Amino acid sequence: MRNRLCFLLMAVVAFALMAGDSVCLAADSSAKGLSGEIPIAGVWSLTGDAAVYGPSQKNASELAVDEINKSGMLGEAKLKLITEDDRSTKEGAITAFDKLIKKDKVIAILGPTLSNSAKASNPIAQDAKVIVLGVSNTASGIVEIGDFIFRDSLPESVVQPNTVKITRDKLGYNKVAVMYGDDDVFTKGGYDVFKKVLDDSGIKILTIETFKKKDTDFSAQLTKIKGLNPDQIIVSALAEEAAGILTQARQLGIPDSVHIIGGNGFNSPKLAQLAGPAAEGAISGAAWFVGNDTPGNKKFVEEYNKKTGSNPDQFAAQAYAGVYIIANAIKNAGSSNPQAVRDALAKTKDLDTVLGKFSFNEKRDPVHFPVVQTIKNGKFELFK
């Protein structure tokens, strides 16, 4: 019996030694100046429970890299995009970051899709001085990780105040009911911001109701809300749950004059598909909207349609813009040195992107105008 354990230990040691000798990896990171291939990466949730978002980010980033390489924007140099799947887990994101930094020697990573994965994986990049550009992380505590961590996804703290201000100016409301999903970082974060904005603007919150991801029955919460007779209902939810809430609110006889106002989570073509006529009049704040008249947006929507056969969503637009923002920084730095690119990236100001005129503030958070949209005839339109 002892012998067997000894053998096992010997086998482990032998394996480790063998592996060390036989694996040799060629990494081409010596590209100084702008020539050759500049490796960048996208870490997306292509499988697992966030797989709704990852594929559109992957498609949009591939589209952007193709366009940049065809246009000769970087002169002799070409971007080489390496895509990794984090399986919607922190383990996946950490492993992918480790591989991309050590083995592929990328200079910049876009992603990961989920905020909590970003909190787990981004410190590895910061430690190795590799740029991370989050394109869908909206939680707090991301850019705070360090000076190599950026994001182009507008946090809810920018989108929501704008939504409340614009809708209040138009609709004039004073008392609202609030509903939010309390088991998701994104919807919980959205609620925190809504609560603060409503309190700051002196709007009375009649009740705060919660639900969980994958809930399908919201009638208890909505019946209570109906009884309180609010002017509007503020909802922080992702598209699936939002669709359920919209449908059941109208079934329970909450009148159309009571609008349902949401955050970034509403910003998916799925909402109108799932809720059908009940989605009419739903209002949401967003960082981007499919009919934006921002530079290049029309072409982006067309090309994305050609590539995938469907309209891009906000996640796609932010990933697409992210690649252009990085490419612009590489061009301005005139080098693929991560430190030089980081410094150029931090100076990004009024860059024309599909999101609008784009800048980074001193905290490496994005600055551009959010939009407020409403659903009319099953399609998003600007809220006026």
Partner 1 sequence: MPDFLSHNITVINFILINMALGLSIYLTLSTGLLSLANAGFMAIGAYTTALIITRTDIPLGVAIVPAMLLAALVALPLGMLVLRLRDVYLAIATLGFGEIVRIAALNGDKVVRWFSDNKDLIVFNGAEGITLSYVTPKIVLGLPDSTWPLLIYLLVVTYLAFTLQNSRYGRVLASIRQDETAAHTLGIDVVRYKLLAFVLSAAIAAGAGALSAPVMRVIDPRNYVFSKAVDILAYAVLGGMTHWFGPIVGATVLTSLPEILSFLKDQRDVANGLIIMISTIYLPGGLVDPKMWRSLAKFVLGRNTSGSTA
Residues that bind partner 1 (CB under 8 A): 1, 4-5, 8, 16-17, 19-25, 46-47, 83-85, 87, 90-92, 94-95, 98-99, 102-103, 116-117, 119-120, 123-124, 126-127, 139, 141, 145, 182-185, 188-189
Least distance between partner 1 and beta carbon 187 (Å): 8
Q: Between 120 and 316, name the residue whose CB sits nearer to partner 1.
A: 120
Q: Between 5 and 172, name the residue whose CB sits nearer to partner 1.
A: 5
Least distance between partner 1 and beta carbon 7 (Å): 11
Least distance between partner 1 and beta carbon 356 (Å): 29
User: Residue 357 is which amino acid?
Assistant: K
Q: Is 223 in a helix, a strand, or coil? A: helix
Cα-to-chain-centroid distance, residue 343: 23
Q: Between 1 and 30, name the residue whose CB sits nearer to partner 1.
A: 1
Least distance between partner 1 and beta carbon 12 (Å): 10
Least distance between partner 1 and beta carbon 188 (Å): 5
User: Residue 49 is which amino acid?
Assistant: D
Cis-peptide, bond into residue 112, ω within 30° of zero: yes
Q: Between 141 and 291, name the residue whose CB sits nearer to partner 1.
A: 141
At residue 324, φ and ψ (nearest 5 deg) are -65, -35
Least distance between partner 1 and beta carbon 6 (Å): 12
Q: Between 98 and 280, name the residue whose CB sits nearer to partner 1.
A: 98
Q: Between 145 and 344, name the residue whose CB sits nearer to partner 1.
A: 145
CA angle 247/265/150 to nearest 5° reads 180
User: Does an H or E element contain 209, and which?
Assistant: strand 204-211
Q: Between 126 and 162, name the residue whose CB sits nearer to partner 1.
A: 126
On whether the CB atoms of residues 104 and 43 are closer than 8 A, the answer is no
Q: Between 210 and 247, name the residue whose CB sits nearer to partner 1.
A: 210
As a whole number of angstroms, the distance between CA 223 and CA 208 comes to: 13
On whether the CB atoms of residues 143 and 150 are closer than 8 A, the answer is yes
Q: Between 5 and 71, name the residue whose CB sits nearer to partner 1.
A: 5
At residue 102, φ and ψ (nearest 5 deg) are -80, -40
Least distance between partner 1 and beta carbon 355 (Å): 26
As a whole number of angstroms, the distance between CA 174 and CA 60 comes to: 40
Cis-peptide, bond into residue 312, ω within 30° of zero: no
CA angle 86/89/322 to nearest 5° reads 50
On whether the CB atoms of residues 67 and 61 are closer than 8 A, the answer is no
As a whole number of angstroms, the distance between CA 221 and CA 241 comes to: 13
Tally Cβ neighbours within 10 Å of residue 160. Answer: 29
Least distance between partner 1 and beta carbon 383 (Å): 29
Least distance between partner 1 and beta carbon 107 (Å): 18
Tally Cβ neighbours within 10 Å of residue 4. Answer: 8
